[in-house]
Amino acid sequence: MIDALKFRVNLGAFPTVLQHQFDFITTTLDSDCKTFQVHIRYYCTEDPNMAFSSKAEFDRVCNEVIDEGLKMYYGGELDIDGVTYYSDITTEVTKKQTRNSQPIVLKNQTGDCVGKSNNNVVFPINGHYCDDIQFRYTIAHEFGHAMLIPAEGIDYSATHKGTSTLSQVPRNDSDVANCDGSVVFDLMHYFKEYNENCYENGTRGPPFYLKAMASESDKQTLAFHAEEQIQESSTCGAIYGASCASKNCLDGLKCEPTMKVCVECLDDSHCDSETQYCHDKSNYNRVNKCLDKRRAFEPCDRDRTCLYGYCNRNTWLCGSKGEQAPTQPTENRASVVNLSTLSVLVALTFNARL
Give the interface with Zn ion as residue ranges (CB under 5 A): 352, 354
Q: Which is nearer to Zn ion, 40 or 311 (CB)?
A: 40
Instruction: For the CB of residue 354, give the shortest distance to Zn ion in the complex, in Å.
Output: 5
Q: Which is nearer to Zn ion, 311 or 354 (CB)?
A: 354
Instruction: Fill in the amino acid letter for 336.
Output: V
Is there a contact between 90 and 38 (Cβ–Cβ < 8 Å)? yes
Residues 267 and 298: their CA atoms lie apart, in Å, by 20
Instruction: For the CB of residue 353, give the shortest distance to Zn ion in the complex, in Å.
Output: 6
Exposed/middle/buried for 184, CB within 10 Å: 0-12, 13-18, 19+? exposed
Instruction: For the CB of residue 191, give the shortest distance to Zn ion in the complex, in Å.
Output: 12
Q: Which is nearer to Zn ion, 85 or 143 (CB)?
A: 143
Rg of the chain over Cα atoms, rounded to whole angstroms, equals 20
Instruction: For the CB of residue 138, give the shortest distance to Zn ion in the complex, in Å.
Output: 9
Instruction: For the CB of residue 147, give the shortest distance to Zn ion in the complex, in Å.
Output: 12
**Which of 315, 111, 297, 28 shows the shortest CA–CA distance to 307?**
297
Q: Which is nearer to Zn ion, 140 or 352 (CB)?
A: 352
Which residues have C-beta within 8 Å of that of residue 145, sequence separation ≥ 6?
119, 121, 157, 158, 188, 352
Q: Which is nearer to Zn ion, 3 or 175 (CB)?
A: 175
Residues 133 and 140: their CA atoms lie apart, in Å, by 11
Q: Which is nearer to Zn ion, 147 or 354 (CB)?
A: 354
Q: Which is nearer to Zn ion, 4 or 354 (CB)?
A: 354
Q: Which is nearer to Zn ion, 213 or 278 (CB)?
A: 213
Residues 104 and 124: their CA atoms lie apart, in Å, by 5
Instruction: For the CB of residue 185, give the shortest distance to Zn ion in the complex, in Å.
Output: 13
Residues 217 and 224: their CA atoms lie apart, in Å, by 10
Instruction: For the CB of residue 218, give the shortest distance to Zn ion in the complex, in Å.
Output: 13
CA distances from 343 to 180, 209, 317 (A): 36, 30, 16
Instruction: For the CB of residue 188, give the shortest distance to Zn ion in the complex, in Å.
Output: 7
Q: Which is nearer to Zn ion, 159 or 220 (CB)?
A: 159
Instruction: For the CB of residue 112, give the shortest distance to Zn ion in the complex, in Å.
Output: 17
